[in-house]
Chain A
Amino acid sequence: MTAVSAGLDAVIRVDRDEYLLDAVLQASAGETIALMGPSGAGKSTLLGALAGFTALTAGEITLDGRVLQNSSGTDVPPRERGVILLGQQARLFPHLSARDNIAFGPRARRVPKAQARAEADAWMERIGLAGLGGRRPAQLSGGQQQRVALARALATHPRMLLLDEPLASLDPSTADGIRALLRDELSDTTTIMATHDADDATSLADRLIVLEAGRVTAEGTPHEVLREAGTPFIASLVPGWQMRVENISPDADGIRVSDGTSELRLPLGAPVVPGSIVTVRPPS
């Protein structure tokens, strides 16, 4: 692997009683990376570590040439990282209007109030919510709240944006709207997006990283990773018919594999062992 000149370069190890997260992660500047994995694989822990909310047991995080964290004690606090974590919940400050939520980051960086608010109004327009700036979060729908949360994050010009399943709690049509917004807005920002939707990975991300049981098990363009289906989990992401091989028996000129209900004949020397997954996919 070549070191990236700008962007993210991270080795992350988090040791907990239950599990171990041990992942190497790189992203070039402006790249969008999708992060997939089964529940409990460590996606949220990984994002939390990048944002500075989860302590590393070991490892090093470098972002745009600046060491954010390493084993010799450097640990840049979250507010100086320029890394924003956006989760399933929008977490808009309930006591502030949508406009003041977006203006919050710039205001914290001492941008004058009037200017910060004007910028916030421009953002409201950009995310399709012009005129709703005075509303409190409780007066916005879930999708509108996610839009405001995204604008609030982008208004601080983050060096890296971490999205932890931002579409998971939205209904399908609302999620489509946010998807389109993400496609438009994320091109300049280094982004890592945890998702459980392979379509999101292929349509939004330049690269897909698969995390299973705390380790990276596949990495590449989304199409490559999904086509190669290197693990049963990845295979399960792609629509198609699957069989988990249980019995293997020799046959004339080949082998017979079955899962108890279906049976296939494969050529001699096919690399199957009990537990292998045989997948049949529609032509792409």
Chain B
Amino acid sequence: MIRRGYAPRVLAIPALVAVAFLVLPLAALVGRVQWGTLWADITSPEALSALRLSVITGLLATVICLLIGIPLALLIARSSRRTASLLRAVVTVPLVLPPMVGGLSLLFLFGRSGWLGWTGWQIPFTTVAVVLAQVFVALPFLVLALEGAIRTSGLDYERTAAGLGAGNWTILWRVTLPLAGPGLLSGTVLCFARAAGEFGATALFAGNAPGTTQTMPLAIYTAFNGAGVSQGAAIALSLMLLVTSVSVLLLVRGWRAAPVAGAER
């Protein structure tokens, strides 16, 4: 079967330019790695503490996103068309907003002189602030991916399940979410990746204190920029983030492929 389709062949050239544009910078990064000091750079106390903080806050933010994002995705997917497009617009704002603006806004909500200042909560410039900033920027990725998946799978399977006597929770756990599984998975991965890579909102709202708010992206920025001490450390940390992202992608692909292969029992 001819699978090439009918796109003009000359379009292959800009397509290759696009691929090169995405791949070459990363190759250049790898090319600058100082392999001799790599291990020392990665295992330095600063790097390890930044890594630990990134993983913990990223995971925490992802869990929070799941807890509030799944219900929101369900709400949007099952709303009337007008309500859904309104809610979708609200969810999209943090996605298109410069993260710096998000950080500033969070500061004005949670800061001492902000709207919630009267509560006496000490949130800005703490680890909690890091997580909140990550949730703010990462939540849209989860909600939009999951909502699309739920809406696409439609109501018919849920109706079938209800007819068979299933209650609403059973339908959610055994029908709706499994059917939206691919969307949920890719949404979660995107959500974690965005949370772990968050820089702008964190910098403004949480600051850059090693050990409490200095996540990997901030550590990279500091190492690269801060007095120019060690560009090598910045590159090493970047390499680590790159390797981690690629591994997560490969893991997820393997995990998604598995159920299909294992279906024959």
Of the candidate stretches A7-15, A91-99, A229-237, the one touching chain B is A91-99
CA–CA, A85 and B178, complex, Å = 22
Residue of B nearest to A78 (CB): B162
Of the candidate stretches A103-111, A204-212, A248-256, the one touching chain B is A103-111
| A131-159 CB contacts (< 8 Å) to partner B | 134-136, 138-139, 152-153, 156
State whether A104 and B163 are in contact (beta carbons under 8 Å apart), knowing that A95-B181, A136-B263, A139-B263 are contacts in the complex.
no
State whether A53 and B159 are in contact (beta carbons under 8 Å apart), knowing that A134-B264, A139-B263 are contacts in the complex.
yes
| A94-126 CB contacts (< 8 Å) to partner B | 94-95, 97, 104-105, 108-109
Give a binary string over B218-235; 1 marks a CB under 8 Å from any A CB, 0 the rest: 000000000000000000
CA–CA, A81 and B179, complex, Å = 25
Asked if residues A108 and B170 are in contact (CB atoms below 8 Å), the reply is: yes
Asked if residues B170 and A83 are in contact (CB atoms below 8 Å), the reply is: no
Asked if residues B165 and A156 are in contact (CB atoms below 8 Å), the reply is: yes
Contact partners of B265 in chain A: CB under 8 A: 97, 134
A163 to chain B, nearest CB (A): 13
State whether A108 and B163 are in contact (beta carbons under 8 Å apart), knowing that A95-B181, A97-B265 are contacts in the complex.
no
Asked if residues A83 and B167 are in contact (CB atoms below 8 Å), the reply is: no
CA–CA, A91 and B170, complex, Å = 17
CA–CA, A269 and B159, complex, Å = 55
A46 to chain B, nearest CB (A): 16
Asked if residues A104 and B161 are in contact (CB atoms below 8 Å), the reply is: yes
- Give the residue of B156, B166, B178 whose beta carbon is less than 8 angstroms from that of A91: B156
Chain A: residues with Cβ within 8 Å of the partner, total of: 29
A51 at the interface (CB under 8 A from B): yes
| A40-62 CB contacts (< 8 Å) to partner B | 51, 53
B208 to chain A, nearest CB (A): 45
Asked if residues A108 and B166 are in contact (CB atoms below 8 Å), the reply is: yes
| B40-93 CB contacts (< 8 Å) to partner A | none
CA–CA, A236 and B96, complex, Å = 61
Contact partners of B178 in chain A: CB under 8 A: 93, 95
CA–CA, A56 and B165, complex, Å = 21
Contact partners of B156 in chain A: CB under 8 A: 89, 91
A257 to chain B, nearest CB (A): 49
A226 at the interface (CB under 8 A from B): no
A38 at the interface (CB under 8 A from B): no
Asked if residues B164 and A156 are in contact (CB atoms below 8 Å), the reply is: yes
Contact partners of A139 in chain B: CB under 8 A: 263-264
| B216-265 CB contacts (< 8 Å) to partner A | 259, 263-265
State whether A94 and B263 are in contact (beta carbons under 8 Å apart), knowing that A78-B163, A79-B163, A85-B163 are contacts in the complex.
no
Residue of A nearest to B160 (CB): A91
Residue of B nearest to A77 (CB): B162
Asked if residues B175 and A93 are in contact (CB atoms below 8 Å), the reply is: yes
A84 at the interface (CB under 8 A from B): yes
CA–CA, A93 and B179, complex, Å = 8
Pick from A53, A83, A85, A93 the residue with the most CB of B within 10 Å: A93
Residue of B nearest to A162 (CB): B163
B174 at the interface (CB under 8 A from A): yes
B6 to chain A, nearest CB (A): 29
CA–CA, A113 and B163, complex, Å = 20
Asked if residues A91 and B157 are in contact (CB atoms below 8 Å), the reply is: yes
State whether A84 and B162 are in contact (beta carbons under 8 Å apart), knowing that A95-B178, A104-B174, A134-B265 are contacts in the complex.
no
Residue of A nearest to B167 (CB): A79
State whether A105 and B175 are in contact (beta carbons under 8 Å apart), knowing that A91-B156, A136-B263, A139-B263 are contacts in the complex.
no
State whether A108 and B263 are in contact (beta carbons under 8 Å apart), knowing that A78-B159, A95-B178 are contacts in the complex.
no
Contact partners of B166 in chain A: CB under 8 A: 79, 104-105, 108
CA–CA, A91 and B175, complex, Å = 12
Asked if residues B164 and A105 are in contact (CB atoms below 8 Å), the reply is: yes
Asked if residues B181 and A84 are in contact (CB atoms below 8 Å), the reply is: no
10 extra interface residue pairs, beta carbon distance < 8 Å, beyond A79-B163, A79-B165, A84-B163 = A79-B166, A80-B165, A82-B165, A91-B157, A94-B179, A97-B263, A109-B165, A139-B263, A139-B264, A153-B164
What is the interface of chain A, defined by CB distance below 8 A to chain B? 51, 53, 77-85, 89, 91, 93-95, 97, 104-105, 108-109, 134-136, 138-139, 152-153, 156
12 contacts between A and B (CB under 8 A): A51-B159, A84-B164, A85-B159, A89-B156, A94-B179, A95-B178, A95-B179, A105-B164, A105-B165, A108-B170, A134-B264, A152-B164
3 closest cross-chain pairs (CB), A and B = A105-B164, A108-B166, A134-B265
